A and B are shown apart, each in its own frame.
Chain A
Amino acid sequence: MTKQRLVIIGNGMAPGRMLEHLFETSTDYDVTIFNAEPRVNYDRIMLSPVLSGEKTYEDIIIHGDAWYEDHGITLHRGEKVTHIDREAKTVTSEGGITAPYDKLVIATGSNPFIIPCPGHDLPGVLAYRDLNDVDGMLAAAEKGGRAVVIGGGLLGLEAAAGLKMRGMDVTVLHLMPTLMERQLDPAAGYLLQKELEARGIDIRCGANTKAIHGKDAVEAIELDDGTMIDATLVVMAVGIRPNVAVAQEAGLTVNRGIVADASLRTSDPDIFTVGECAEVDGRVYGLVAPLYQMARVAASHLCGTCDKEFMHSETPTKLKVTGVNLYSVGEFGDGPGMEDVVLRDAAKGTYRRVILRDNKVIGAVLYGDTADGAWYNEMLKSGQDVSEMRETLIFGQNYQGGGAVNPLAAVANLADDAEICGCNGICKGDIVNAITAKGLTSLGDVRAHTKASASCGTCTGLVENLMALTLGDAMSKAPEGMCGCTTLGHGDVRRLIKAKGLKSIPAIMQELEWTTAEGCAKCRPALNYYLVADWPGEYKDDQQSRFINERVHANIQKDGTYSVVPRMFGGMTTPDELRAIADVADKYDIPSVKVTGGQRIDLLGVKKEDLIPVWADLNKAGMISGAAYSKGLRTVKTCVGTDWCRFGTQDSTGLGIKLEKYLWGSWAPAKLKLAVTGCPRNCAEATCKDIGVICVDSGYEIVYGGAAGLHIQGTTMLGKVATEEEVIETIGALTQYYRETGFYLERIYKWADRIGYDHIRDVIFDDLDARKAFADRFAYSQTFAQIDPWAERVAGAESHEFKPMAVLDAALEAAE
């Protein structure tokens, strides 16, 4: 028997989900999809995290190319269907592709509503619907300036927060008096506005756009009251309209959306519709949960089981702006017979309101702490009488029955049919069954098998609690936090510093919800480094978050004295420098003088009070700090190369000096030691350094990732270049990549193991543009870093570090 032909117009989340359900039960169809966008199916509700930089496009793909291949689906990308011939049962695209169908599904989604004010068609006016819009916004954000977002609803605010995180100035214009008035009452709208304003977003409610001005592109926006606001980008997020054009043209019954019955059949029995374009029982939908329900229903009718019907239900709203927690469901207006229970905590900025009618929950608005949202929603759905718990209802589930407050108790008390994941309609029972039946132990597994928390992710905490409850100790632990002050690992912290534009240690601790007031000796130096590396010229180094060695620019020894190592570029020195070092050792009674492994001289046992005069003398002789104490560039070791050596192939000493002059002063995740050796005999031991250069007749081999400490390993080849200039650029780029992505205290070999040697080569060796961009960023950062810390302190900086505040004994005072 030949298969039936199923044609789908549209490749969004609803038809994607419908096909998944269909393939679970039936293989009777040959599927052809026409997609007006040139892409595979991706998670549209995750566009906001892509905009803000918290996720990438790859992260939000639902069905990759392989999925279409595996299921034998023909996908026409970038082909918009313009005509349906219901007589001949064919569809035809703009590009002239015609496909016959036995069953057709229209899933054309919706179009953003564009306010038809003057100037709405200027370049720089965007909607917020798909990845093209996000790309447009990101391009605008690169250039900076002010973005004006029209619309203070869910999408508009997510766009505003994302653009702010991308570094733009942002103004939100909202027609109504409070934000998100369809989902939030004025009190919660106020808290939300306050939170967003605190992030620097300018919010103007009651603002009506009159015109957009600009010559060749957007320049300003004019309000009804004559106010002009400069703008380089305008984002319209004022609502959506079901996209019904092709259905209308085909003569199907169309109202606001394409009219369908409870089985999602249109007025033509062979044509179904799902998604935002569909209208069932007079309602159209824009949130994902009902759209996924449509997908399930349509699939059941396509495969012939016909056991499902679409039913309207209230869908909770959540805002996907990191750090803003709000939840609303059901009704919240004032109406006859409606009673409110309200709980506020001004200090914490939380607000909670439950709306009752006839002793039943009919709505809830939560701001700040939303953990009980699912519980209220469950009561709303079940219509249970709450008069028994009326007194304690507002405190949430943990306070019912006087039980101990325990996060697991909340999920333990939920009924099996309580919905955990609103996006995907997954109940507690589904998740528990999947965990026990399939032996799932990680969140990733649970997501893969049940889809719970795999869409917007706001129910992740609930799912994790459910896993903990079901599995006990067998649950795979999430990666540990960088210290006891946070559950976030170094990678998350680094990513969020950039994504959220966090530029101070207190900002990081607040926004990333540190559990301690001011961090600890483990996280503060790490955060300080990340800020130094990520915001050169903007961030002011926090001395109190530096380990003592980096604060006083010398190495503390076991007796509390210090060691001092002046820099000797490329390991070269002069009789004058040596004399100055000898004089300093004599003058300040320095007990030990030692030659280091990095080809320089260490003065050990210097008293803290003597550091400044010692440095002053060394500075006078032309020497600067060797940074022998730093998580940063230490030394560039060299051999004598062509200057003296019979075997030398290149000027290794000269190149080492150039490299050290280029790199000195830079901070890095951990110490960075280099060597340049003049021939493969490797006298400078370049093949066990963090970064090494091996000179050969035809050029320079750059190697890296060596270690000769607790762990011993040889370097790995990065690549070979022909000139000294290329060596310097490549090493600058490699250093910068390590600086930008390394974890604090992670040596370069561990970093390379973690992110991959092949990947590093792709990024900074094979891609010449990227190499240059990294090297340029390094050079820019160096303009702030190459200041000799010794000279600064000799001139008076941080003087409190070096002398006592008071000397109480008279005799002692005289001696000092």
Chain B
Amino acid sequence: MNVALAETDLTWRHVGTIDDIPRQGARCVKNAEMTIAVFRTSDDRVFALEDKCPHKAGPLSNGIVHGGCVTCPLHNWVISLEDGTAQGADEGATASFPVRLEGRDIYLNLSA
């Protein structure tokens, strides 16, 4: 089965279910090096970015999620959930990570 296989796969880590994250919201996943923000959009897509705005390291997980982007709570930079790049006139990008949704389970690949 897919799920069982994925759980044994070391590069893909199970981090929770989609129901753990509110729509248009985010939750954090921590490991030794960093905090990752896992976002859920209004149409139930899931994305993962390092929880650090490319501008002044603001916690993106605390921003408002809208139209495939998140607005940083510190200085309103708008960051694409897809690839972590700053939108509009701002320049910069935060790291983004592959996420896989199997049923309602979320798997994160941090080695990519």
Which A residues have a C-beta under 8 Å from some C-beta of B? 516-521, 524-525, 543-549, 551-552, 556, 558, 560, 800, 804-809, 811-812, 816
Contact = CB atoms under 8 A, between A and B. Distances in A.
Interface residues of B, number: 35
A612 to B, nearest CB: 15
16 contacts: A516-B67, A518-B24, A518-B66, A518-B67, A520-B66, A521-B71, A543-B22, A546-B64, A547-B64, A551-B62, A552-B62, A804-B35, A805-B29, A806-B13, A806-B30, A812-B31
A808 B21 contact: no
B78 interface: yes
A133 B53 CA distance: 59
Interface in B46-88: 56-59, 62-67, 71, 73-74, 76, 78
Contacts of B73: 547-549, 556
A545 B64 contact: yes
Contacts of B92: none
B57 A544 contact: no
Q: Which 8 A-B pairs have the closest CB atoms?
A: A521-B71, A805-B27, A544-B24, A548-B62, A806-B15, A808-B31, A521-B64, A809-B32
Nearest to A811: B32
Contact of B21 (A520, A524, A805): A805
Contacts of A804: 27-30, 35
Given A544-B24, A548-B73, A556-B62, A807 B31 contact: yes
A546 B13 CA distance: 31
Interface of B: 13-16, 20-25, 27-32, 35, 38, 42, 56-59, 62-67, 71, 73-74, 76, 78, 110
A545 B42 CA distance: 12
* Residue of B24, B29, B62 with most chain A CB atoms under a 10 A cut-off: B62
Contacts of B29: 804-808
B20 A805 contact: yes
A517 B69 CA distance: 12
A544 B65 contact: yes
A518 B30 CA distance: 29
Contacts of B58: 560
A524 B69 CA distance: 14
B66 A560 contact: no
Contacts of B35: 804
Given A520-B78, A524-B64, 10 more contacts: A520-B66, A545-B64, A548-B73, A560-B59, A800-B22, A804-B30, A804-B35, A805-B16, A805-B27, A806-B14
Given A800-B20, A808-B29, A809-B31, A548 B67 contact: no
B60 to A, nearest CB: 10
A525 B64 contact: yes
A556 B76 contact: no
Contacts of B16: 805-806
Nearest to A517: B67
Given A560-B58, A812-B32, A516 B66 contact: yes
Contacts of B65: 544
A811 B38 CA distance: 22
Contacts of A808: 13, 15, 29-31, 110
Contacts of B32: 809, 811-812
A812 B30 contact: yes
Contacts of A546: 64
A520 B31 contact: no
Contacts of A517: 42, 67
Given A544-B23, A556-B74, A812-B30, A805 B67 contact: no
